[in-house]
Chain A
Amino acid sequence: MPVRNDLGARTGPRVLLEVRGLTARYGPVVAVRDVDLRVGEGEIVALLGANGAGKTTTLMSIVGLHRARTGTIELDGHEIGHLPPERVVRRGVGLAPEGRRIFAGLTVAENLRLGAAGAGRARDDGRRERLLELFPALRERLRLPAASLSGGEQQQLAIARALMSGPRLLLLDEPTLGLAPKLVRLVFDLIARLRDEEGVTILLVEQNVHQALRSCDRAYLMRVGGIEAEGTPEELRRDRRVQAAYLGVPE
Protein backbone atom coordinates (compact mmCIF):
# COMPACT_ATOMS: atom_id res chain seq x y z
CA MET A 1 0.00 0.00 0.00
CA PRO A 2 1.39 3.41 -0.86
CA VAL A 3 2.46 5.63 1.97
CA ARG A 4 0.27 8.32 0.55
CA ASN A 5 -1.67 8.46 -2.66
CA ASP A 6 -4.15 11.23 -1.94
CA LEU A 7 -2.11 14.13 -3.31
CA GLY A 8 -5.28 15.51 -4.84
CA ALA A 9 -6.71 16.18 -1.42
CA ARG A 10 -3.72 18.26 -0.45
CA THR A 11 -3.68 21.92 -1.39
CA GLY A 12 -0.47 22.23 -3.31
CA PRO A 13 0.87 23.83 -6.46
CA ARG A 14 -1.02 23.67 -9.72
CA VAL A 15 -0.54 20.29 -11.43
CA LEU A 16 1.81 20.60 -14.41
CA LEU A 17 2.22 16.93 -15.31
CA GLU A 18 -0.37 14.29 -14.64
CA VAL A 19 0.16 10.66 -15.62
CA ARG A 20 -2.73 8.23 -15.13
CA GLY A 21 -2.79 4.49 -15.59
CA LEU A 22 0.46 4.37 -17.57
CA THR A 23 1.31 0.85 -18.73
CA ALA A 24 4.26 0.36 -21.07
CA ARG A 25 5.54 -2.77 -22.75
CA TYR A 26 8.57 -4.06 -24.62
CA GLY A 27 6.96 -6.74 -26.76
CA PRO A 28 5.28 -9.12 -24.32
CA VAL A 29 7.18 -7.75 -21.31
CA VAL A 30 5.32 -5.21 -19.19
CA ALA A 31 7.96 -2.70 -18.03
CA VAL A 32 5.60 -0.17 -16.39
CA ARG A 33 2.27 -1.19 -14.85
CA ASP A 34 -0.59 1.18 -14.13
CA VAL A 35 1.52 4.10 -12.90
CA ASP A 36 -0.12 7.29 -11.65
CA LEU A 37 2.03 10.29 -10.92
CA ARG A 38 1.72 14.04 -10.61
CA VAL A 39 4.20 16.85 -10.69
CA GLY A 40 3.10 20.26 -9.44
CA GLU A 41 4.38 23.48 -10.95
CA GLY A 42 7.72 24.48 -9.37
CA GLU A 43 8.20 21.13 -7.65
CA ILE A 44 11.23 18.88 -7.68
CA VAL A 45 9.89 15.34 -7.77
CA ALA A 46 12.13 12.27 -7.64
CA LEU A 47 11.36 8.92 -9.19
CA LEU A 48 13.36 6.38 -7.22
CA GLY A 49 13.96 2.69 -7.56
CA ALA A 50 16.40 0.00 -8.55
CA ASN A 51 17.58 -0.90 -12.04
CA GLY A 52 14.75 -2.27 -14.14
CA ALA A 53 12.01 -0.74 -11.97
CA GLY A 54 10.62 1.10 -15.00
CA LYS A 55 11.82 4.62 -14.22
CA THR A 56 13.47 5.32 -17.58
CA THR A 57 10.58 3.75 -19.49
CA THR A 58 8.23 6.09 -17.60
CA LEU A 59 10.25 9.12 -18.72
CA MET A 60 10.54 7.82 -22.28
CA SER A 61 6.77 7.35 -22.36
CA ILE A 62 6.17 10.90 -21.13
CA VAL A 63 8.31 12.40 -23.94
CA GLY A 64 6.78 10.11 -26.56
CA LEU A 65 9.87 8.09 -27.41
CA HIS A 66 8.35 4.90 -26.04
CA ARG A 67 5.16 4.30 -28.02
CA ALA A 68 3.98 0.88 -26.86
CA ARG A 69 1.87 2.08 -23.96
CA THR A 70 -1.59 2.90 -22.66
CA GLY A 71 -2.87 5.47 -20.18
CA THR A 72 -3.09 9.25 -20.26
CA ILE A 73 -0.34 11.85 -19.99
CA GLU A 74 -1.40 15.45 -19.52
CA LEU A 75 0.79 18.54 -19.53
CA ASP A 76 -0.93 21.55 -18.02
CA GLY A 77 -4.31 19.89 -18.59
CA HIS A 78 -3.67 19.00 -22.26
CA GLU A 79 -3.25 15.41 -23.39
CA ILE A 80 0.24 14.92 -24.88
CA GLY A 81 0.33 11.13 -24.91
CA HIS A 82 -0.44 10.89 -28.62
CA LEU A 83 2.20 13.41 -29.71
CA PRO A 84 5.57 12.54 -31.28
CA PRO A 85 8.63 13.55 -29.20
CA GLU A 86 9.39 16.68 -31.23
CA ARG A 87 5.89 18.05 -30.50
CA VAL A 88 6.08 17.12 -26.80
CA VAL A 89 9.35 19.06 -26.58
CA ARG A 90 7.77 22.03 -28.31
CA ARG A 91 4.99 21.98 -25.71
CA GLY A 92 7.62 22.69 -23.05
CA VAL A 93 9.17 19.40 -21.91
CA GLY A 94 12.95 18.90 -21.88
CA LEU A 95 14.74 15.60 -21.26
CA ALA A 96 18.36 15.05 -20.33
CA PRO A 97 18.42 11.34 -21.17
CA GLU A 98 20.11 8.48 -19.38
CA GLY A 99 23.77 8.20 -20.35
CA ARG A 100 23.77 11.91 -21.34
CA ARG A 101 23.63 11.13 -25.06
CA ILE A 102 25.28 14.36 -26.07
CA PHE A 103 26.28 14.61 -29.74
CA ALA A 104 29.92 13.70 -29.22
CA GLY A 105 31.12 14.67 -32.70
CA LEU A 106 29.49 18.10 -32.53
CA THR A 107 30.94 21.05 -30.66
CA VAL A 108 29.51 22.19 -27.35
CA ALA A 109 28.05 25.25 -29.11
CA GLU A 110 26.41 23.05 -31.76
CA ASN A 111 24.87 20.83 -29.08
CA LEU A 112 23.39 23.92 -27.46
CA ARG A 113 22.21 25.26 -30.80
CA LEU A 114 20.26 22.06 -31.46
CA GLY A 115 18.81 22.26 -27.96
CA ALA A 116 17.29 25.63 -28.87
CA ALA A 117 15.73 24.27 -32.06
CA GLY A 118 12.59 23.22 -30.21
CA ALA A 119 12.03 26.63 -28.65
CA GLY A 120 9.83 27.77 -31.52
CA ARG A 121 9.05 31.46 -31.41
CA ALA A 122 10.66 32.05 -28.04
CA ARG A 123 14.06 31.33 -29.55
CA ASP A 124 17.27 33.12 -28.54
CA ASP A 125 16.09 35.34 -25.73
CA GLY A 126 19.55 35.41 -24.19
CA ARG A 127 18.89 32.01 -22.72
CA ARG A 128 22.26 30.63 -23.75
CA GLU A 129 24.02 33.47 -21.93
CA ARG A 130 22.07 32.77 -18.75
CA LEU A 131 22.77 29.04 -19.00
CA LEU A 132 26.48 29.64 -19.55
CA GLU A 133 26.47 31.63 -16.30
CA LEU A 134 24.97 28.60 -14.58
CA PHE A 135 27.40 26.24 -16.35
CA PRO A 136 30.68 28.23 -16.57
CA ALA A 137 32.69 25.12 -17.51
CA LEU A 138 30.82 24.99 -20.82
CA ARG A 139 31.60 28.57 -21.79
CA GLU A 140 35.34 27.87 -22.00
CA ARG A 141 34.71 24.83 -24.19
CA LEU A 142 32.10 26.10 -26.64
CA ARG A 143 34.20 25.41 -29.72
CA LEU A 144 35.50 22.01 -28.61
CA PRO A 145 33.95 18.69 -29.63
CA ALA A 146 31.59 17.49 -26.91
CA ALA A 147 33.52 14.21 -26.85
CA SER A 148 36.47 16.03 -25.29
CA LEU A 149 34.48 17.03 -22.17
CA SER A 150 34.88 15.22 -18.86
CA GLY A 151 31.98 13.15 -17.52
CA GLY A 152 30.74 15.94 -15.26
CA GLU A 153 30.96 18.49 -18.05
CA GLN A 154 29.10 16.18 -20.40
CA GLN A 155 26.31 15.89 -17.84
CA GLN A 156 26.18 19.67 -17.54
CA LEU A 157 26.00 19.90 -21.32
CA ALA A 158 23.14 17.38 -21.45
CA ILE A 159 21.20 19.42 -18.87
CA ALA A 160 22.02 22.77 -20.50
CA ARG A 161 21.01 21.40 -23.91
CA ALA A 162 17.65 20.25 -22.53
CA LEU A 163 17.15 23.72 -21.02
CA MET A 164 17.92 25.60 -24.25
CA SER A 165 14.34 25.18 -25.44
CA GLY A 166 13.10 26.89 -22.29
CA PRO A 167 11.08 23.94 -20.96
CA ARG A 168 8.51 24.29 -18.18
CA LEU A 169 9.15 20.70 -17.18
CA LEU A 170 12.65 19.25 -17.13
CA LEU A 171 13.06 15.47 -16.99
CA LEU A 172 16.44 14.30 -15.73
CA ASP A 173 17.34 10.63 -16.12
CA GLU A 174 20.12 9.56 -13.73
CA PRO A 175 21.99 12.88 -13.92
CA THR A 176 24.61 11.83 -11.38
CA LEU A 177 25.34 8.32 -12.64
CA GLY A 178 29.09 7.71 -12.81
CA LEU A 179 30.02 11.08 -11.35
CA ALA A 180 32.49 11.66 -8.49
CA PRO A 181 30.84 12.65 -5.16
CA LYS A 182 31.91 16.27 -5.56
CA LEU A 183 30.24 16.44 -8.97
CA VAL A 184 27.12 14.75 -7.62
CA ARG A 185 26.75 17.64 -5.16
CA LEU A 186 27.36 20.12 -7.98
CA VAL A 187 24.59 18.59 -10.09
CA PHE A 188 22.12 18.63 -7.17
CA ASP A 189 23.05 22.26 -6.42
CA LEU A 190 22.32 23.04 -10.05
CA ILE A 191 18.96 21.29 -9.87
CA ALA A 192 17.98 23.39 -6.87
CA ARG A 193 19.14 26.60 -8.57
CA LEU A 194 17.24 25.75 -11.75
CA ARG A 195 14.03 25.54 -9.78
CA ASP A 196 14.70 28.53 -7.52
CA GLU A 197 16.19 30.91 -10.10
CA GLU A 198 14.70 29.73 -13.40
CA GLY A 199 11.37 28.46 -12.13
CA VAL A 200 11.79 25.09 -13.87
CA THR A 201 9.73 22.14 -12.65
CA ILE A 202 11.82 19.00 -12.38
CA LEU A 203 11.07 15.28 -12.50
CA LEU A 204 14.22 13.44 -11.58
CA VAL A 205 15.06 9.75 -11.94
CA GLU A 206 17.70 8.75 -9.42
CA GLN A 207 19.31 5.67 -7.95
CA ASN A 208 21.12 7.80 -5.39
CA VAL A 209 18.21 7.73 -2.93
CA HIS A 210 19.96 9.54 -0.06
CA GLN A 211 20.95 12.50 -2.17
CA ALA A 212 17.62 12.62 -4.02
CA LEU A 213 15.58 12.66 -0.82
CA ARG A 214 17.67 15.58 0.42
CA SER A 215 16.87 17.62 -2.68
CA CYS A 216 13.31 16.82 -3.70
CA ASP A 217 9.92 18.04 -2.51
CA ARG A 218 8.23 14.71 -3.11
CA ALA A 219 9.26 11.30 -4.38
CA TYR A 220 7.79 8.16 -5.87
CA LEU A 221 9.36 4.79 -5.25
CA MET A 222 9.07 2.38 -8.17
CA ARG A 223 9.44 -1.37 -7.93
CA VAL A 224 9.03 -3.93 -10.74
CA GLY A 225 7.11 -1.52 -12.92
CA GLY A 226 4.70 -0.12 -10.37
CA ILE A 227 4.61 2.70 -7.82
CA GLU A 228 5.27 1.17 -4.42
CA ALA A 229 5.40 4.26 -2.24
CA GLU A 230 4.91 7.97 -2.58
CA GLY A 231 5.29 10.97 -0.32
CA THR A 232 7.51 13.71 1.02
CA PRO A 233 11.14 12.86 1.86
CA GLU A 234 10.27 12.66 5.58
CA GLU A 235 7.42 10.27 4.90
CA LEU A 236 9.55 8.05 2.69
CA ARG A 237 12.44 8.02 5.16
CA ARG A 238 10.02 6.65 7.76
CA ASP A 239 8.68 3.99 5.36
CA ARG A 240 9.95 0.55 6.31
CA ARG A 241 10.23 -0.68 2.72
CA VAL A 242 12.30 2.33 1.75
CA GLN A 243 14.46 1.93 4.82
CA ALA A 244 15.07 -1.73 4.15
CA ALA A 245 15.73 -1.43 0.45
CA TYR A 246 17.57 1.88 0.15
CA LEU A 247 18.58 3.41 3.43
CA GLY A 248 20.37 0.47 4.94
CA VAL A 249 18.01 0.15 7.93
CA PRO A 250 17.13 -3.48 8.75
CA GLU A 251 13.47 -4.43 8.47
Chain B
Amino acid sequence: MTLHEFVQQCINGLSLGSTYALLALGLAMLFSIMGLINFAHGELLTIGGYVMWTLLHHDVSWALVVPATLLATTLAAVAMERIAFRPLRGASIETLLVTSFALAFFIQTVLQIGVSAEPEPIAHTGWSDRGYSVGPYTIGLIQIITTAVTFAVLVALVVFLRRTLLGVSIRAAAEDFAVVRLMGIPAGRVVVAAFALSGLLAGIASLLFFASAGSVSPTSGTAPVVAAFIAVVLGGLGNLAGAVVGGYVLGFADQILAAVHSSTILQFHDAVVLAILIGLLLLRPQGLVGRSRGLA
Protein backbone atom coordinates (compact mmCIF):
# COMPACT_ATOMS: atom_id res chain seq x y z
CA MET B 1 0.00 0.00 0.00
CA THR B 2 1.40 3.39 -0.94
CA LEU B 3 1.24 6.44 1.30
CA HIS B 4 -1.35 7.88 -1.05
CA GLU B 5 -3.59 4.84 -0.66
CA PHE B 6 -3.05 4.84 3.09
CA VAL B 7 -4.19 8.46 3.43
CA GLN B 8 -7.14 7.82 1.12
CA GLN B 9 -8.26 4.86 3.25
CA CYS B 10 -7.97 6.96 6.39
CA ILE B 11 -10.26 9.53 4.74
CA ASN B 12 -12.67 6.73 3.86
CA GLY B 13 -12.47 5.54 7.47
CA LEU B 14 -13.67 8.88 8.83
CA SER B 15 -17.33 7.83 8.57
CA LEU B 16 -16.84 4.52 10.32
CA GLY B 17 -14.54 6.12 12.88
CA SER B 18 -17.18 8.75 13.66
CA THR B 19 -19.80 6.05 14.26
CA TYR B 20 -17.44 4.16 16.55
CA ALA B 21 -16.46 7.35 18.36
CA LEU B 22 -20.08 8.39 18.99
CA LEU B 23 -20.99 4.92 20.27
CA ALA B 24 -17.81 4.72 22.34
CA LEU B 25 -18.63 8.05 24.00
CA GLY B 26 -21.95 6.70 25.27
CA LEU B 27 -20.35 3.47 26.47
CA ALA B 28 -17.52 5.30 28.22
CA MET B 29 -19.89 7.68 29.97
CA LEU B 30 -22.10 4.94 31.41
CA PHE B 31 -19.08 2.89 32.40
CA SER B 32 -17.45 5.73 34.29
CA ILE B 33 -20.63 6.62 36.16
CA MET B 34 -22.05 3.24 37.07
CA GLY B 35 -19.52 0.59 36.10
CA LEU B 36 -21.84 -0.61 33.36
CA ILE B 37 -20.51 -1.89 30.05
CA ASN B 38 -23.76 -1.67 28.13
CA PHE B 39 -23.62 -4.13 25.25
CA ALA B 40 -27.25 -3.31 24.49
CA HIS B 41 -25.92 0.08 23.38
CA GLY B 42 -25.58 -1.38 19.88
CA GLU B 43 -29.31 -2.06 19.85
CA LEU B 44 -29.89 1.68 20.19
CA LEU B 45 -28.09 2.02 16.86
CA THR B 46 -30.31 -0.72 15.43
CA ILE B 47 -33.50 0.87 16.78
CA GLY B 48 -32.46 4.15 15.16
CA GLY B 49 -31.96 2.26 11.90
CA TYR B 50 -35.45 0.76 12.03
CA VAL B 51 -37.01 4.14 12.76
CA MET B 52 -35.17 5.54 9.71
CA TRP B 53 -36.24 2.58 7.57
CA THR B 54 -39.90 2.93 8.61
CA LEU B 55 -40.05 6.66 8.06
CA LEU B 56 -38.05 6.77 4.80
CA HIS B 57 -40.12 3.85 3.51
CA HIS B 58 -43.17 6.09 3.92
CA ASP B 59 -41.45 8.99 2.18
CA VAL B 60 -41.17 11.09 5.31
CA SER B 61 -38.73 13.96 4.76
CA TRP B 62 -35.26 14.00 6.37
CA ALA B 63 -36.30 17.09 8.31
CA LEU B 64 -38.58 14.79 10.32
CA VAL B 65 -36.48 11.61 10.15
CA VAL B 66 -33.59 13.27 12.01
CA PRO B 67 -35.50 14.45 15.12
CA ALA B 68 -37.68 11.31 15.19
CA THR B 69 -34.63 9.03 15.15
CA LEU B 70 -32.87 11.02 17.87
CA LEU B 71 -36.01 11.02 20.01
CA ALA B 72 -36.52 7.28 19.53
CA THR B 73 -32.99 6.28 20.56
CA THR B 74 -33.00 8.70 23.50
CA LEU B 75 -36.30 7.32 24.79
CA ALA B 76 -35.14 3.75 24.18
CA ALA B 77 -32.02 4.41 26.28
CA VAL B 78 -34.10 5.91 29.08
CA ALA B 79 -36.45 2.91 28.91
CA MET B 80 -33.46 0.54 29.17
CA GLU B 81 -32.39 2.28 32.35
CA ARG B 82 -35.87 2.26 33.83
CA ILE B 83 -36.76 -1.35 32.99
CA ALA B 84 -33.50 -3.26 33.00
CA PHE B 85 -30.83 -1.39 34.96
CA ARG B 86 -32.60 0.60 37.69
CA PRO B 87 -33.69 -2.53 39.59
CA LEU B 88 -30.01 -3.54 39.59
CA ARG B 89 -28.57 -0.28 40.91
CA GLY B 90 -25.45 -1.08 42.90
CA ALA B 91 -25.16 -4.61 41.49
CA SER B 92 -21.76 -6.03 40.55
CA ILE B 93 -20.14 -5.22 37.22
CA GLU B 94 -20.67 -8.84 36.10
CA THR B 95 -24.40 -8.75 36.84
CA LEU B 96 -24.78 -5.52 34.88
CA LEU B 97 -22.76 -6.93 31.99
CA VAL B 98 -24.84 -10.12 31.75
CA THR B 99 -28.02 -8.03 31.98
CA SER B 100 -26.88 -5.86 29.08
CA PHE B 101 -26.27 -8.98 26.95
CA ALA B 102 -29.71 -10.30 27.83
CA LEU B 103 -31.24 -6.97 26.89
CA ALA B 104 -29.37 -6.93 23.57
CA PHE B 105 -30.59 -10.43 22.66
CA PHE B 106 -34.11 -9.58 23.76
CA ILE B 107 -34.29 -6.54 21.47
CA GLN B 108 -32.74 -8.48 18.58
CA THR B 109 -35.28 -11.28 18.99
CA VAL B 110 -38.20 -8.86 19.19
CA LEU B 111 -37.03 -7.27 15.95
CA GLN B 112 -36.55 -10.66 14.28
CA ILE B 113 -40.05 -11.78 15.19
CA GLY B 114 -41.77 -8.42 14.90
CA VAL B 115 -40.12 -7.20 11.69
CA SER B 116 -37.90 -9.75 9.97
CA ALA B 117 -34.55 -11.44 10.37
CA GLU B 118 -33.66 -10.24 6.87
CA PRO B 119 -32.00 -6.87 6.25
CA GLU B 120 -34.37 -4.07 5.25
CA PRO B 121 -33.15 -1.56 2.68
CA ILE B 122 -32.68 2.03 3.73
CA ALA B 123 -32.94 4.34 0.73
CA HIS B 124 -29.63 5.98 -0.10
CA THR B 125 -29.79 9.69 0.17
CA GLY B 126 -29.01 11.45 -3.10
CA TRP B 127 -26.08 13.21 -1.53
CA SER B 128 -24.37 10.38 0.29
CA ASP B 129 -22.41 9.21 -2.78
CA ARG B 130 -21.21 12.66 -3.82
CA GLY B 131 -17.48 13.24 -3.60
CA TYR B 132 -14.92 16.01 -4.01
CA SER B 133 -11.32 15.97 -5.19
CA VAL B 134 -8.76 17.54 -2.92
CA GLY B 135 -5.38 17.27 -4.65
CA PRO B 136 -4.78 13.60 -5.27
CA TYR B 137 -7.48 12.54 -2.77
CA THR B 138 -11.21 12.00 -3.03
CA ILE B 139 -13.35 12.89 -0.06
CA GLY B 140 -17.02 11.94 0.03
CA LEU B 141 -19.72 14.34 1.17
CA ILE B 142 -20.80 11.72 3.72
CA GLN B 143 -17.29 11.72 5.23
CA ILE B 144 -17.32 15.49 5.46
CA ILE B 145 -20.76 15.52 7.07
CA THR B 146 -20.11 12.71 9.55
CA THR B 147 -16.79 14.19 10.65
CA ALA B 148 -18.21 17.70 10.95
CA VAL B 149 -21.24 16.45 12.87
CA THR B 150 -19.09 14.32 15.18
CA PHE B 151 -16.82 17.24 16.02
CA ALA B 152 -19.79 19.55 16.54
CA VAL B 153 -21.30 16.94 18.87
CA LEU B 154 -18.02 16.64 20.77
CA VAL B 155 -17.81 20.39 21.27
CA ALA B 156 -21.46 20.52 22.38
CA LEU B 157 -20.88 17.60 24.76
CA VAL B 158 -17.83 19.22 26.33
CA VAL B 159 -19.72 22.51 26.75
CA PHE B 160 -22.63 20.62 28.33
CA LEU B 161 -20.38 18.68 30.70
CA ARG B 162 -18.48 21.81 31.74
CA ARG B 163 -21.10 24.53 31.85
CA THR B 164 -24.38 23.02 33.06
CA LEU B 165 -25.09 21.82 36.59
CA LEU B 166 -26.33 18.50 35.21
CA GLY B 167 -23.17 18.11 33.13
CA VAL B 168 -20.91 18.90 36.08
CA SER B 169 -22.95 16.44 38.17
CA ILE B 170 -22.39 13.71 35.56
CA ARG B 171 -18.63 14.32 35.65
CA ALA B 172 -18.68 14.31 39.44
CA ALA B 173 -20.73 11.10 39.49
CA ALA B 174 -18.04 9.47 37.37
CA GLU B 175 -15.62 10.22 40.20
CA ASP B 176 -17.67 9.56 43.32
CA PHE B 177 -21.33 8.70 43.01
CA ALA B 178 -22.09 8.66 46.76
CA VAL B 179 -20.69 12.14 47.31
CA VAL B 180 -22.81 13.52 44.46
CA ARG B 181 -25.82 12.44 46.52
CA LEU B 182 -24.30 14.23 49.51
CA MET B 183 -24.48 17.40 47.42
CA GLY B 184 -28.27 17.02 47.47
CA ILE B 185 -28.38 15.90 43.85
CA PRO B 186 -30.81 13.01 43.23
CA ALA B 187 -28.82 9.99 42.07
CA GLY B 188 -31.59 8.81 39.79
CA ARG B 189 -31.68 12.02 37.79
CA VAL B 190 -27.95 11.90 37.04
CA VAL B 191 -28.14 8.29 35.87
CA VAL B 192 -31.21 8.94 33.67
CA ALA B 193 -29.48 11.97 32.17
CA ALA B 194 -26.40 9.91 31.35
CA PHE B 195 -28.53 7.23 29.70
CA ALA B 196 -30.49 9.84 27.74
CA LEU B 197 -27.25 11.41 26.59
CA SER B 198 -25.82 8.05 25.52
CA GLY B 199 -29.09 7.39 23.62
CA LEU B 200 -28.85 10.75 21.88
CA LEU B 201 -25.26 10.04 20.84
CA ALA B 202 -26.29 6.60 19.58
CA GLY B 203 -29.10 8.26 17.59
CA ILE B 204 -26.63 10.60 15.90
CA ALA B 205 -24.39 7.61 15.16
CA SER B 206 -27.43 5.82 13.75
CA LEU B 207 -28.24 8.64 11.32
CA LEU B 208 -24.66 8.84 10.08
CA PHE B 209 -24.18 5.08 9.93
CA PHE B 210 -27.38 4.10 8.11
CA ALA B 211 -27.24 7.05 5.71
CA SER B 212 -24.42 5.13 4.02
CA ALA B 213 -24.90 1.54 5.21
CA GLY B 214 -27.83 0.90 2.90
CA SER B 215 -29.73 -1.56 5.09
CA VAL B 216 -30.67 -2.41 8.65
CA SER B 217 -31.08 -5.83 10.26
CA PRO B 218 -31.76 -6.95 13.86
CA THR B 219 -28.03 -7.54 14.35
CA SER B 220 -26.82 -4.31 12.72
CA GLY B 221 -25.67 -2.96 16.10
CA THR B 222 -23.59 -5.96 17.18
CA ALA B 223 -20.37 -5.37 15.25
CA PRO B 224 -20.35 -1.59 15.87
CA VAL B 225 -20.87 -1.97 19.64
CA VAL B 226 -18.05 -4.49 19.88
CA ALA B 227 -15.88 -2.08 17.92
CA ALA B 228 -16.96 0.79 20.16
CA PHE B 229 -16.13 -1.27 23.24
CA ILE B 230 -12.68 -1.97 21.80
CA ALA B 231 -12.36 1.77 21.11
CA VAL B 232 -13.21 2.53 24.75
CA VAL B 233 -10.61 0.06 26.01
CA LEU B 234 -8.09 1.31 23.46
CA GLY B 235 -8.57 4.93 24.48
CA GLY B 236 -8.50 4.24 28.21
CA LEU B 237 -11.52 2.91 30.06
CA GLY B 238 -13.96 5.64 31.01
CA ASN B 239 -12.04 8.46 29.37
CA LEU B 240 -14.17 10.41 26.87
CA ALA B 241 -11.34 11.89 24.84
CA GLY B 242 -9.79 8.43 24.75
CA ALA B 243 -13.03 6.91 23.50
CA VAL B 244 -13.06 9.31 20.55
CA VAL B 245 -9.40 8.72 19.69
CA GLY B 246 -9.95 4.96 20.03
CA GLY B 247 -13.01 5.15 17.75
CA TYR B 248 -11.13 6.87 14.96
CA VAL B 249 -8.04 4.65 15.25
CA LEU B 250 -10.28 1.61 14.94
CA GLY B 251 -12.25 3.13 12.06
CA PHE B 252 -9.02 3.78 10.15
CA ALA B 253 -7.64 0.32 10.95
CA ASP B 254 -10.86 -1.34 9.78
CA GLN B 255 -10.86 0.56 6.50
CA ILE B 256 -7.17 0.04 5.77
CA LEU B 257 -7.38 -3.70 6.42
CA ALA B 258 -10.48 -3.99 4.25
CA ALA B 259 -8.60 -2.22 1.44
CA VAL B 260 -5.61 -4.52 1.53
CA HIS B 261 -7.67 -6.85 -0.67
CA SER B 262 -5.63 -9.85 0.22
CA SER B 263 -8.12 -12.64 0.76
CA THR B 264 -5.88 -14.27 3.35
CA ILE B 265 -5.84 -11.17 5.53
CA LEU B 266 -9.50 -10.38 4.88
CA GLN B 267 -10.38 -13.78 6.26
CA PHE B 268 -8.60 -12.92 9.47
CA HIS B 269 -9.77 -9.33 9.53
CA ASP B 270 -11.13 -9.40 13.09
CA ALA B 271 -8.17 -11.39 14.35
CA VAL B 272 -5.81 -8.80 12.88
CA VAL B 273 -7.74 -5.90 14.41
CA LEU B 274 -7.77 -7.61 17.81
CA ALA B 275 -4.07 -8.48 17.52
CA ILE B 276 -3.32 -4.79 16.92
CA LEU B 277 -5.43 -3.95 19.98
CA ILE B 278 -3.57 -6.44 22.15
CA GLY B 279 -0.26 -5.09 20.87
CA LEU B 280 -1.24 -1.49 21.65
CA LEU B 281 -2.45 -2.41 25.13
CA LEU B 282 0.78 -4.26 25.83
CA LEU B 283 2.65 -1.06 24.96
CA ARG B 284 0.19 1.23 26.76
CA PRO B 285 -1.90 -0.71 29.30
CA GLN B 286 -3.59 2.53 30.41
CA GLY B 287 -4.93 3.06 26.88
CA LEU B 288 -3.87 5.56 24.23
CA VAL B 289 -5.05 8.61 26.15
CA GLY B 290 -5.06 7.19 29.67
CA ARG B 291 -7.53 6.40 32.36
CA SER B 292 -7.13 9.04 34.99
CA ARG B 293 -8.31 12.22 33.34
CA GLY B 294 -11.98 11.53 33.85
CA LEU B 295 -14.83 12.94 31.79
CA ALA B 296 -14.03 15.97 29.62
Number of contact residues on B: which range applies? Answer: 20 to 34
Which of B178, B184, B187, B293 touches A105 (beta carbons < 8 Å)?
B293
CA distance A119 to B184 in the complex (A): 8
Residue contact A89 to B182, C-beta cutoff 8 Å? yes
Residue contact B180 to A114, C-beta cutoff 8 Å? yes
Chain A 29-63 near chain B by CB (<8 Å), digits 1 or 0: 00000000000000000000000000000000001
Q: Is A20 part of the binding interface, using a Cβ–Cβ cutoff of 8 Å?
A: no
Chain B 221-249 near chain A by CB (<8 Å), digits 1 or 0: 00000000000000000000000000000
Which of B168, B175, B179, B186 touches A97 (beta carbons < 8 Å)?
B179
Residue contact B181 to A85, C-beta cutoff 8 Å? yes
Q: Which residues of B contact A105 (CB under 8 A)?
A: 171, 175, 293-295
Residue contact B165 to A85, C-beta cutoff 8 Å? no
Q: Which residues of B contact A84 (CB under 8 A)?
A: 181, 186-187
Q: Which residues of B contact A118 (CB under 8 A)?
A: 183-185
Chain B 258-296 near chain A by CB (<8 Å), digits 1 or 0: 000000000000000000000000000000000001110
Q: Chain A nearest CB: distance from B260 CB in Å?
A: 41
Residue contact B165 to A103, C-beta cutoff 8 Å? no
Q: Is B172 part of the binding interface, using a Cβ–Cβ cutoff of 8 Å?
A: yes
Residue contact A113 to B168, C-beta cutoff 8 Å? yes
Known contacts A105-B293, A106-B168, A110-B168: A117-B185 contact under CB 8 Å: yes
Q: Is B176 part of the binding interface, using a Cβ–Cβ cutoff of 8 Å?
A: yes
Q: Which residues of A contact B206 (CB under 8 A)?
A: none
Q: Is A65 part of the binding interface, using a Cβ–Cβ cutoff of 8 Å?
A: yes
Q: Chain A nearest CB: distance from B31 CB in Å?
A: 15
Residue ID in chain A nearest B187 by CB atoms: A86
Q: Is A225 part of the binding interface, using a Cβ–Cβ cutoff of 8 Å?
A: no
Q: Which residues of A contact B178 (CB under 8 A)?
A: 65, 85
CA distance A65 to B177 in the complex (A): 11
Q: Is A194 part of the binding interface, using a Cβ–Cβ cutoff of 8 Å?
A: no
CB pairs A–B below 8 angstroms (7 shown): A63-B182, A89-B181, A114-B165, A114-B169, A114-B183, A115-B183, A161-B183
* Contacts beyond the supplied A86-B185, A89-B184: 18 A-B pairs with Cβ under 8 Å: A65-B178, A84-B186, A86-B181, A97-B182, A103-B175, A103-B179, A104-B175, A106-B168, A106-B171, A106-B172, A113-B165, A114-B168, A114-B172, A114-B183, A117-B183, A118-B183, A119-B184, A165-B183
